[in-house]
Amino acid sequence: MFRLITITSLLLALQACAVNPVTGKSELSLVSAQQEVSIGEQHYLASQQQQGGVYTVDPELNLYVQGVGKKLAAVSDRKELPYEFVVLNSDVPNAWALPGGKIAINRGLLIQLDDEAQLAAVMGHEIVHAAARHGAQKMTQQQVLGAGAAAVGIAAASSDSDYAGLIAAGAMGGAQLYQAHYGRSQELESDKYGMKYMAKAGYEPQAAVELQQTFVKLSQGQKSDMFSSLLASHPPSEERVAKNKQMAKTLPKGQRYRDRYQRATAQIRKDQPAYDKNIQAQKAAANKEWAKAEQLVAAAIKMQNKEAMFFNTQGQIYMAQKKNSKAEQSFKQATRLNPDYFANNLGLGMALVEQGKDAPAKAAFEQSVKKLPTQLAYWELGNIEKRANNKSAATKYYQQVAQAGGELGQKAQAELQKLGAN
């Protein structure tokens, strides 16, 4: 039996060899280039929703980051990929790439950088992950090791914890993403060729050295739990610093563009004290220090009243205290400021349903699942349909909840039994 498996594996390997577009080396790949692009396109929006949604306070920042990304993509080894770049509204300092060139960088990482060359170091690194088919390699590895069919949507990032810890909004079905913690060789590969892309695009490669030095210090000092996802998905090391230094010596000097970067990121730098207040409010709420939490989030809103995130946090704080009418108003403002983020609609639905306002709550939940299907939203939709005596609709929603498992899944299974659906 073992011999049969070995022969089958060898035959499969011979049929599935592909050339790495970046290194030129032959590698085993069970995922085609077309499949890569399809996976990225299918799950890019869901990935964004799971990790804070698009940053909207200063739309020009997204355009700026897109410009830098496109400049690097134009000198990559896979110029034909449908690259996309977005800034996510997350405090977590991280960046990630989906297969096929779908790339994101968090607001929380942009605030840590000093110039455009350092941004190019981050973006170049992520572009190599896509161009060198690292996601496809991960999926192939999972298949060969018997981990099942290709993981649908590999994201090189950790999801933020449940949004502020007050609304559990686990994603369901195709929106579930598997973390891709790349291996040592892939990280070194992305560093090396990312620096080559930087140099080709006219950036100073020394910025990549500085970036790794910063990450090493953060990992040693454990400056903040927020850095854990960055350090986990992109593990820093003195080896990477040394390799980057060697690589930088072989590349031409380039530009830093510090002033340009500082201008482009001026709004998030100005607003950082407000984001800090919001984080403090979430921590106070986690400790059930409600008065303190309310004061802190109110201060954040006063400092920047165009940030939907702050109103979402405020709504959650009110909800936790059963101040549902106030929560409704906060979530309504959050949806007005950013109607495209699922958690704003989800929170509004929760506030409405707690007040017995099933009709508008249903509309809010439906808007939420259009953006990101969640077990909680489907559970509440099932409950609403059950109260309206719509057995078939309730059954449909409960079945989706049950399939996702967990505590809500068990509750949904019980409801299905009551409805005679099992």
Q: Give bridge partners of residue 87 from the DSSP assignment.
A: 105
Mind listing the domains of the chain with CATH numbers?
12-263 (no CATH), 271-373 (1.25.40.10)
Reduce the secondary structure of the chain to three states and give it as a string.
CHHHHHHHHHHHHHHCEEECCCCCCEEECCCCHHHHHHHHHHHHHHHHHHCCCECCCCHHHHHHHHHHHHHHHCCCCCCCCCCEEEEECCCCCCEEEECCCEEEEEHHHHCCCCCHHHHHHHHHHHHHHHHCCHHHHHHHHHHHCCCCCCCCCEECCCCCCCHHHCCCCCECHHHCCEECCCCHHHHHHHHHHHHHHHHHCCECCHHHHHHHHHHHHHHHHCCCHHHHHHHHHCCCCHHHHHHHHHHHHCCCCCECCHHHHHHHCHHHHHHHHHHHHHHHHHHHHHCCCHHHHHHHHHHHHHHCCCCHHHHHHHHHHHHHCCCHHHHHHHHHHHHHHCCCCHHHHHHHHHHHHHCCCHHHHHHHHHHHHHHCCEHHHHHHHHHHHHHCCCHHHHHHHHHHHHHHCHHHHHHHHHHHHHCCCC
pTM: predicted TM-score of the whole model, two decimal places: 0.85
C-alpha span between 282 and 288 (Å, rounded): 10
Sequential pLDDT tens for the chain (422 residues): 444 444 444 444 444 567 776 665 666 566 677 788 888 888 899 999 999 999 999 999 999 999 999 999 999 999 999 999 999 999 999 999 998 999 999 999 999 999 999 999 999 999 998 887 766 566 555 544 443 333 333 333 323 333 233 344 445 544 334 345 667 778 888 899 999 999 999 999 999 999 999 888 877 765 556 556 555 556 667 889 999 999 999 999 999 999 999 999 999 999 999 999 999 999 999 999 999 999 999 999 999 999 999 999 999 999 999 999 999 999 999 999 999 999 999 999 999 999 999 999 999 999 999 999 999 999 999 999 999 999 999 999 999 999 999 999 999 999 999 988 66
